[in-house]
Structure 1
């Protein structure tokens, strides 16, 4: 496990100009997972895009943690349905070609 894959939450607070309590709330609500590296709570860099979305939802749309969770669950369902639709279209194409 390389430390370069993780970003310390205090650095994210400084970069996004947001309080540490926001990240603590996301963690308590189960929206993010952190690990401790050298006594600092860190977030995997692959999750930064989701965190940026959560920050925008919170700041621009004034959503609380429950609202953010609801939106992310709906987005996951939409992605799942898109994948299912693509698979169904591909299967249908096979029958149309016969």
Structure 2
């Protein structure tokens, strides 16, 4: 049970970091660093025999990677939306003056 709580806590922290990297930074590649590290780490764990690839061990890794990639996409969409809203505010201020 404690392993599950630790695993979920680590996953939540990784997802938060991924979301912040995707939303706050201009370059979309910064948000791609964490998914790339997770994919490489997953491949390393299974290729070196640290864990045997079966449905019980592979599913959590695939789930986390898919959530992280989803956060990357969501974060980039929010970044673009925020940037467009800021540009609209700037255009309105330019028109007013």
How would you bin the TM-score normalised by the shorter chain? 0.3 to 0.5
Could you say which structure has the greater relative contact order, defined with CA pairs below 8 angstroms and 6 or more residues apart?
Answer: 2
- What is the TM-score of this pair, normalised by structure 2? 0.40
Q: Which has the higher strand share?
A: 1
- What is the TM-score of this pair, normalised by structure 1? 0.40
Q: Which has the higher helix share?
A: 2
